[in-house]
Chain A
Amino acid sequence: MMNMDDALNTFIIEGRELLEQMEEALLRIEQMPDDADTLNAIFRAAHTIKGSAGLFGIDHMVSFTHVAESVLDKVRGGLVPIDSELVALFLAVRDHLSLLIDGVAAATEPDVETTRAGEKLVDKLRTYLGQKPPVVSGPQTPVEHVADLEAEPGRGARSGDGVHTDNWHISLRFSPDVLRNGMDPLAFIRYLGTFGRIAHIVTLADKVPSLSALDPEASYLGFEIGFHTDADKATIEGAFEFVRDDAQIYILPPHSKISQYQDLIERLPPEELLLGEILVRCGTLSRAELADALRRQSGQGETESQQPIGEMLVEQHSVSPRVVEAALDKQKQVKEQRSSEGSLIRVNADKLDEHINLIGELIIATAGASLIAQNVNIPELNEAAARLSRLVEEVRDSALTLRMVQIGATFTKFQRIVRDMSAELGKDIRLDINGAETELDKTVVEKIGDPLTHLMRNAMDHGIEPAEVRLARGKPAQGTIGLNAYHDSGSIVIEVSDDGGGLPKQRILAKAIERGLVGPEQQLSDSEIYDLIFEPGFSTAEQVSNLSGRGVGMDVVRRNITALRGSVDIQSREGAGVTMRIRLPLTLAIIDGFLVGVGGSSFVVPLDMVVECVELSAQETEAAQGRDHLNLRGEVLPFIRLKQLFDISEPAVASNAGETEDGLEADKLSWRNRSTSSLLTQEGAAALASDPELAFLLNPVKRENVVVVQYAGHRAGLVVDRLMGEFQTVIRPLGQVFHGLDGISGFTILGNGNVALILDVAGLVRRVSGREGRRNSKAMSYVSSE
Chain B
Amino acid sequence: MAKNIMIVDDSASLRQVVGIALRGAGYDVVEACDGKDALNKLDGRKLHLIISDVNMPNMDGISFVKAAKQLPAYKFTPVIMLTTEAGNDMKQQGQAAGAKAWVVKPFQPAQMLTAVSKLVLP
Q: Cβ of B98 and Cβ of A10 under 8 Å apart?
A: no
Q: Cβ of A242 and Cβ of B86 under 8 Å apart?
A: no
Q: Cβ of B104 and Cβ of A7 under 8 Å apart?
A: yes
Chain A residues with CB under 8 A of B118: 187-188, 191, 238-242
Chain B residues with CB under 8 A of A527: none
Asked whether A213 is an interface residue with its Cβ less than 8 Å from the other chain, the reply is no
Asked whether B78 is an interface residue with its Cβ less than 8 Å from the other chain, the reply is yes
Q: How far is the CB of A53 from chain B (nearest CB, A)?
A: 10
Closest to A240 in B: B118
Q: What is the bound-complex CA distance between A181 and B81, given in angstroms?
A: 13
Q: Cβ of A182 and Cβ of B79 under 8 Å apart?
A: yes
Q: How far is the CB of B91 from chain A (nearest CB, A)?
A: 10
Q: How far is the CB of B42 from chain A (nearest CB, A)?
A: 15
Q: Cβ of B77 and Cβ of A7 under 8 Å apart?
A: no
Asked whether B93 is an interface residue with its Cβ less than 8 Å from the other chain, the reply is no
Asked whether B101 is an interface residue with its Cβ less than 8 Å from the other chain, the reply is yes
Q: What is the bound-complex CA distance between A181 and B75, given in angstroms?
A: 9
Q: How far is the CB of A417 from chain B (nearest CB, A)?
A: 13
Query: Which positions 51-94 of chain B face chain A at CB distance < 8 Å?
Result: 76-80, 84-89
Asked whether A190 is an interface residue with its Cβ less than 8 Å from the other chain, the reply is yes
Asked whether B20 is an interface residue with its Cβ less than 8 Å from the other chain, the reply is no
Asked whether A199 is an interface residue with its Cβ less than 8 Å from the other chain, the reply is no
Q: What is the bound-complex CA distance between A56 and B85, given in angstroms?
A: 11
- Chain B facing A: main interface SS: loop
Q: Cβ of B119 and Cβ of A2 under 8 Å apart?
A: no
Q: Cβ of A2 and Cβ of B84 under 8 Å apart?
A: yes
Q: What is the bound-complex CA distance between A187 and B118, given in angstroms?
A: 6
Q: Cβ of B86 and Cβ of A182 under 8 Å apart?
A: no
Q: How far is the CB of B50 from chain A (nearest CB, A)?
A: 9
Knowing A4-B106, A182-B77, A242-B101 are in contact, say whether A10-B85 is a contact too (CB < 8 A). yes
Q: Cβ of B84 and Cβ of A7 under 8 Å apart?
A: yes
Interface residues as binary, A119-144 with B (CB distance below 8 Å gives 1, 0 otherwise): 00000000000000000000000000
Chain A residues with CB under 8 A of B117: 191, 194
Asked whether B39 is an interface residue with its Cβ less than 8 Å from the other chain, the reply is no
Closest to B116 in A: A191
Asked whether A52 is an interface residue with its Cβ less than 8 Å from the other chain, the reply is yes
In-complex Cβ contact of B78 among A56, A182, A239 (8 A): A182
Q: Cβ of A7 and Cβ of B78 under 8 Å apart?
A: no
Q: How far is the CB of A55 from chain B (nearest CB, A)?
A: 6
Q: What is the bound-complex CA distance between A14 and B101, given in angstroms?
A: 21
Max chain B Cβ within 10 angstroms of own Cβ: one of A6, A217, A242, A243:
A242
Knowing A4-B106, A188-B118, A194-B117 are in contact, say whether A183-B78 is a contact too (CB < 8 A). yes
Q: How far is the CB of B64 from chain A (nearest CB, A)?
A: 15
Q: Cβ of A181 and Cβ of B100 under 8 Å apart?
A: yes
Q: What is the bound-complex CA distance between A179 and B119, given in angstroms?
A: 12
Q: How far is the CB of A245 from chain B (nearest CB, A)?
A: 7
Asked whether A3 is an interface residue with its Cβ less than 8 Å from the other chain, the reply is yes
Closest to A8 in B: B86
Closest to A51 in B: B86
Q: What is the bound-complex CA distance between A240 and B115, given in angstroms?
A: 10
Chain B residues with CB under 8 A of A52: 86
Query: Which positions 203-240 of chain A face chain B at CB distance < 8 Å?
Result: 217, 238-240
Q: Cβ of B106 and Cβ of A3 under 8 Å apart?
A: yes
Asked whether B120 is an interface residue with its Cβ less than 8 Å from the other chain, the reply is yes
Asked whether A608 is an interface residue with its Cβ less than 8 Å from the other chain, the reply is no
Max chain B Cβ within 10 angstroms of own Cβ: one of A181, A243, A413:
A181
Q: How far is the CB of B114 from chain A (nearest CB, A)?
A: 8
Q: What is the bound-complex CA distance between A635 and B100, given in angstroms?
A: 64
Q: How far is the CB of B56 from chain A (nearest CB, A)?
A: 12
Q: Cβ of A182 and Cβ of B84 under 8 Å apart?
A: no
Query: Which positions 180-206 of chain A face chain B at CB distance < 8 Å?
Result: 180-184, 187-188, 190-191, 194
Interface residues as binary, A91-106 with B (CB distance below 8 Å gives 1, 0 otherwise): 0000000000000000
Chain A residues with CB under 8 A of B77: 182
Chain B residues with CB under 8 A of A188: 118
Q: How far is the CB of B111 from chain A (nearest CB, A)?
A: 10
Query: Which positions 357-390 of chain A face chain B at CB distance < 8 Å?
Result: none
Q: Cβ of A187 and Cβ of B121 under 8 Å apart?
A: yes
Interface size on A, residues (CB 8 A): 34
Asked whether A148 is an interface residue with its Cβ less than 8 Å from the other chain, the reply is no
Q: How far is the CB of B25 from chain A (nearest CB, A)?
A: 11
Asked whether A64 is an interface residue with its Cβ less than 8 Å from the other chain, the reply is no
Asked whether A11 is an interface residue with its Cβ less than 8 Å from the other chain, the reply is yes
Closest to B104 in A: A55
Q: How far is the CB of A453 from chain B (nearest CB, A)?
A: 15
In-complex Cβ contact of A245 among B78, B100, B120 (8 A): B100
Asked whether A246 is an interface residue with its Cβ less than 8 Å from the other chain, the reply is yes
Q: How far is the CB of A368 from chain B (nearest CB, A)?
A: 41
Q: What is the bound-complex CA distance between A207 and B82, given in angstroms?
A: 35
Q: Cβ of A11 and Cβ of B86 under 8 Å apart?
A: yes
Closest to B99 in A: A182
Knowing A187-B121, A191-B121, A194-B117 are in contact, say whether A14-B100 is a contact too (CB < 8 A). no
Q: How far is the CB of A419 from chain B (nearest CB, A)?
A: 13
Q: Cβ of B85 and Cβ of A242 under 8 Å apart?
A: no
Chain A residues with CB under 8 A of B84: 1-3, 6-7
Q: Cβ of B98 and Cβ of A187 under 8 Å apart?
A: no
Chain B residues with CB under 8 A of A240: 118
Chain B residues with CB under 8 A of A241: 101, 118
Query: Which positions 1-31 of chain A face chain B at CB distance < 8 Å?
Result: 1-4, 6-7, 10-11, 14
Q: How far is the CB of A613 from chain B (nearest CB, A)?
A: 48
Q: What is the bound-complex CA distance between A539 and B57, given in angstroms?
A: 35
Knowing A3-B106, A10-B85, A14-B86 are in contact, say whether A182-B100 is a contact too (CB < 8 A). yes
Q: How far is the CB of A16 from chain B (nearest CB, A)?
A: 14
Chain A residues with CB under 8 A of B119: 182-184, 187, 242
Knowing A187-B120, A239-B118 are in contact, say whether A179-B76 is a contact too (CB < 8 A). yes
Closest to B100 in A: A181
Q: What is the bound-complex CA distance between A239 and B101, given in angstroms?
A: 12
Q: What is the bound-complex CA distance between A182 and B101, given in angstroms?
A: 10
Q: What is the bound-complex CA distance between A345 and B88, given in angstroms?
A: 19
Q: Cβ of A180 and Cβ of B76 under 8 Å apart?
A: yes
Chain B residues with CB under 8 A of A11: 86
Interface residues as binary, A153-186 with B (CB distance below 8 Å gives 1, 0 otherwise): 0000000000000000000000000011111100
Max chain B Cβ within 10 angstroms of own Cβ: one of A4, A48, A187, A413:
A187
Q: Cβ of B79 and Cβ of A194 under 8 Å apart?
A: no
Chain A residues with CB under 8 A of B98: 181-182
Q: How far is the CB of A740 from chain B (nearest CB, A)?
A: 35
Q: What is the bound-complex CA distance between A241 and B114, given in angstroms?
A: 11
Q: What is the bound-complex CA distance between A413 and B121, given in angstroms?
A: 39
Q: How far is the CB of A195 from chain B (nearest CB, A)?
A: 10
Closest to A182 in B: B78
Q: How far is the CB of B107 from chain A (nearest CB, A)?
A: 10
Closest to A48 in B: B88
Chain A residues with CB under 8 A of B100: 181-183, 242-243, 245-246
Chain B residues with CB under 8 A of A413: 89
Q: What is the bound-complex CA distance between A547 and B96, given in angstroms?
A: 32
Chain A residues with CB under 8 A of B86: 7, 10-11, 14, 52, 55-56
Closest to B74 in A: A182
A-B contact pairs, 22 of them (CB 8 A): A2-B84, A7-B84, A7-B86, A10-B87, A11-B86, A14-B86, A48-B88, A179-B76, A180-B76, A181-B100, A182-B78, A182-B119, A184-B119, A187-B119, A187-B120, A188-B118, A191-B117, A194-B117, A240-B118, A242-B115, A242-B119, A246-B100
19 further A-B pairs in the complex, CB-CB below 8 A; given A181-B98, A182-B100, A238-B114: A3-B106, A4-B104, A4-B105, A7-B84, A7-B86, A11-B86, A14-B87, A48-B88, A52-B86, A55-B86, A179-B76, A181-B100, A182-B79, A183-B101, A191-B117, A191-B121, A194-B117, A242-B119, A243-B100
6 nearest CB pairs, A to B: A182-B78, A242-B101, A2-B84, A181-B100, A191-B118, A182-B76
